[in-house]
Amino acid sequence: MGIDSTIVTEGIDNQNGKDESGRPRRMSSVSRTLRVLNIEDSEQDVELIRRHLSRAGYDLICDRVEAPDAMKDALTTREWDVILCDYSMPRFSALAAIALLKELGLDIPFIIISGTIGEEAAVEAMRGGAQDYLMKDNLVRLDAAIERQLQETRNHRAHKMAEEALKGSEAELRALFEAMTDVIHVLDSEGRYLKIAPTKQNIYKPAAERIGRTLHEVFPKEKADFFLGCVRHALDEGPLHRVEYSLQIAGKEVWFEGSVSPMTKDSVLWIGRDITERKTLEEQLRQSQKMEAIGQLAGGIAHDFNNLLTAITGYSDLTLRRLQAEDPLRSNIEEIKKAGERAAGLTRQLLAFSRKQVLQPKVFDLNSVVSELEKMLQRLIGEDIELRTVLDIEPGRVKADPGQIEQVIMNLAVNARDAMPNGGKLTIEAKNIHLTEEYTHQHIAVDPGPYVMLAVSDTGTGMDEKTQARIFEPFFTSKEAGKGTGLGLSTVYGIVKQSEGDIRVYSEVGRGTTFKVYLPRVDESAQEYKRTTEVEENLHGTESILLAEDEDIVRRLARQVLEMFGYKVIEAANGGAALLICERQQEPIHLLITDVIMPEMSGPELTDRLIRLRPEMKVLYMSGYTDSAVIHQGVIDEGTNFIQKPFTPSALARKVREVLNS
């Protein structure tokens, strides 16, 4: 297989440095040539990476290979700044590519970009020699990851220069060391400090106090034994290039990556680099990958249950409509319906967490949502909690589903209430902020730029760090058994992420908690916002409806409901049957109700073919699954009519009437 070589020089387009959604692009500090070797079997994925990096300000020289021989040719014919590699390919893998890189004796930053890699595989790859890994659907931190690896490469070269310079004059050494940010010291074979270089980041203050002291005089025994073992390994067996360790400095845990190289037969040069930020990002990424995996499982479970719950709640409702108030079976059916509704509520929360719910976004300001909810929130949290709102005078606008943002505020308020059993203060704040490059480098999956911050703070019991690390996981709760489902905050997490926002928690035990939600600010005109309330209306009709649904139990229920409201219903078990009915029947069909996902022919494909035959026919999609042709990333295409499963008979009748009247 040959090398697919492309030189990309696409720079910033004419959108004033903004991406397709109008948000600022992350830019490198200097526009320069970046030589990228892509090990990837998908040209489409490589093109996405090319576009992302070119928009970040790089002029790219970018080659694609997908087999060992092609990789070897590319490495021996050209120098590369970074290697981006898919984890698993038909003829190659990331681990094999890392092994080949080591075989050739090349030290090139190696970043894995995958669509399927799990946490265990990622950790294995990092241990094997990869410097970082990202998901293909989350490239926002790619340029930052590359810059970090390039900086580490420059530091590594500086280390080599430092080792060579040790043979030079003291003045040259001092000038070189003082220009470096890494910790540099010399120890003898017994672990005694012989020299501590005066670098910019000198953790030993005053450093002179350690000269002549041993590691066991400075550190606890376990830590000192580890360090001394590294010293003796370097003297007996050769250099150690990657040694990770942590130190408690000024009350904080600071992580270092060290290299230990022999200087003489009985002394070593130890260079330590502060990697605390990288370790923090790696931990955030592992947590993000974990949440993504749980979300995929949760979304699948919710999807499978939706058709069953549609039938359970629907048939319960229809049965109750036929039973007299004094019927002895009525209470049993009511309990079945309540259980179905509770289960439907759980599936909605799981869909929210897994970011597979259906959103209907509008442009609005957060002040309007908070103001509309204020009275209801006071009743919700109780009289012993003081509610205070702090709203920006000129609120920025966001584009999100206002009903879902209401859910975020209410869930956070309930969580705060439960953390203040003896009363306290609940503060809700909304204000405009700008997230800087520095902030976004410390938090993955966040772009710099303008945001509207929604903060919910309480004076309650607070949380320790272990609880904070798991607070958004579904079914995790710190409350007593039976006091909560553990889905409230996971629902908040899913809604915020699906709205392209970010959420952070800040808490100390005994000192309260603050949740900060960041939603991207938009420049579009705001739409009027009012909380929706259900009103009784005439839901009956006489129109003809073609019902295409492959699940028998849902199709029979929907037919029974629609006929109960007076409609004439024609059933079709799949798209082919629906198409045949439309071709043969001469009478008008006013509405097509179709499931989105069906075997052989999907709902959108059926619609495209039927509209040619009956252009006047209206369409209503229904589904318990959101990844489809009519819903992108959980957002309905403008002008598309949709009802989410599970639905009640009244909800279906109301939606049908709404579509037919539109």
Query: What pLDDT does residue 535 have?
Result: 45
Confidence grade of residue 225 (pLDDT, cut at 50, 70, 90): very high
Residue 519 phi, psi (nearest 5): -115, 135
**Quick one: average pLDDT of 408-420?**
88
**Per-residue pLDDT tens digits for 116-132:** 766 677 777 888 888 88
**Per-residue pLDDT tens digits for 165-199:** 655 555 565 565 555 567 788 899 999 998 877 65
pLDDT higher than 50, residue 539: yes
pLDDT higher than 50, residue 3: no
pLDDT higher than 70, residue 206: no
**Quick one: average pLDDT of 218-227?**
90
- The larger pLDDT score, comparing residue 653 to residue 301, is at 653
When computed from its CA atoms, the radius of gyration of the chain, rounded to whole angstroms, is 31
**Per-residue pLDDT tens digits for 572-589:** 999 889 999 988 888 889
**Quick one: average pLDDT of 230-248?**
88
**Quick one: average pLDDT of 57-82?**
89
Whole-angstrom Cα distance, residue 141 to residue 118? 18
- The mean-pLDDT minimum among 52-66, 471-485, 545-559 falls in 471-485
Query: What pLDDT does residue 18 have?
Result: 44
pLDDT higher than 70, residue 12: no
Whole-angstrom Cα distance, residue 20 to residue 22? 5
Query: What pLDDT does residue 121 have?
Result: 76
- The mean-pLDDT minimum among 9-18, 449-458, 597-606 falls in 9-18
Residue 475 phi, psi (nearest 5): 75, 0
Q: Any residues with CB less than 8 A from the CB of 219 and at least 6 apart, and which?
A: 227
Top mean-pLDDT range of 238-252, 329-343, 421-435, 479-493: 421-435
Confidence grade of residue 36 (pLDDT, cut at 50, 70, 90): very high
| pTM confidence score | 0.45
Confidence grade of residue 518 (pLDDT, cut at 50, 70, 90): very high
Top mean-pLDDT range of 411-415, 439-443, 513-517: 513-517
Three-state SS string across 467-535, please?
Answer: HHHHCCCCCCCCCCCCCCCCCHHHHHHHHHHHCCCEEEEEECCCCCEEEEEEEEEECCCCCCCCCCCCC
User: Could you give the percent of the chain with pLDDT greater than 90?
Assistant: 18
Query: What pLDDT does residue 627 have?
Result: 47
**Quick one: average pLDDT of 400-419?**
85
The answer to whether residues 57 and 27 touch, using CB atoms and an 8 Å cutoff, is yes
